[in-house]
Structure 1
Amino acid sequence: MAARSLGYDDLPMVVVPHPFETLPHEEVRAIAEAKFDEIVGCLVSGIEVEARS
């Protein structure tokens, strides 16, 4: 994964279908609703990632 190659080994991720941008809006919304708890969990996980420039 790109994150790992950039040194973000501990970056929490949520897996979604690819390509995502070609899916109908309704399907994207359904995926977002199904993944909501997982997304929030990643955001509040407390893992600190050093900012890179």
Structure 2
Amino acid sequence: MAGVEGRVTLITGAGRGIGHATANLLASRGAHVMCVARSQQELEKTGLEFSVADLGTI
């Protein structure tokens, strides 16, 4: 997945599963990731994980 550094991405289903893994991968490669999920609790957990890992999220 080349060329994502600095790009803004929108990931649906980011609270778990494939969406969570995709958001994590893109953020770790330098993308700015906007996460959307059905569950606010899962979304907050994802945001916390990204903050701890110092990944770029919006």
Q: TM-score range by the shorter chain?
A: 0.3 to 0.5
Larger Rg: 1
* Higher relative contact order, chain-length normalized (CA < 8 Å, sep 6+): 1
What is the TM-score with the length of structure 1 in the denominator?
0.35
Structure 1 or 2: more strand by fraction: 2
